[in-house]
Chain A
Amino acid sequence: MDRKMMAASTSMLLLKLLEEEDLYGYQMIRRLEARSDNVFCLKEGTMYPVLHALEEEGAVESYEKTAENGRTRKYYHLTKKGQRTLGKKREEWETCEKAVRAVLEGGASFAF
């Protein structure tokens, strides 16, 4: 998938995953791959700047938790502000998707 297109929707996808439950970075990558049938294979390191930016703007919060194997994971949690951001991003995406589809399918056109 085109990188720029992927980057535009990464934050929305991450927020969506966190809407369901708290996850750590690696889990999010695995979920994305599994749900998109390996279409969304972003460079894994580039997900962290997106997560940190979301955290800075208050859309997500992080906390540490030690796993059974003793490894400390940094979990992310969707905040109320994050829920609102997700709703807004989803609306934008749906509007955009509808417009792109309309153009591709040669739908409604207005003559002036």
Chain B
Amino acid sequence: MSSDLVMYEEEFQQIDEELQRLFQQANAKVVFLVDKNGQLIASAGDTHDIDTTSLASLTAGNIAATGGIARLLGEKEFTILFHEGEKDNIHISLIGQRVILVVIFDKRSSLGLVRLRVKKASETLVRIFNELTNKSDREKSEGKTEDSPFAEISDEDIDNLFK
């Protein structure tokens, strides 16, 4: 069973910085990082007009469907998807088998530039996510972390969610 994704402040900062860097260097409109299961992890750029939750879920669905096609063809995975629109384009890439990097850009940038910058950012992000996995495994094996929201969760807390 694959383990849960746990995000800590320190790694989140690093990811955020990397996304900001990519956003600027690739001249992008928006940059997203999405978990393979459709959860939005972080974003950079102007996300006000975008339904980021839906975008994350659909992107993951897209990657999942493409992965299904890949396996039918005997490929392990298609790691890059590119959709071209009239104004905006979207570049989707799978990073370290685990997270999906999404870059939305228009004519102020180019596919070549985006690909180049994405490649560079991917290397950094893979490293951060490896650290993250190690850290969460470590904390898990050491027992519950102090500020775990589950440490003292009661039935009442859960019931209160549904009032």
**Pair from one complex:** no
Which residues of B pack against A, CB within 8 Å? none
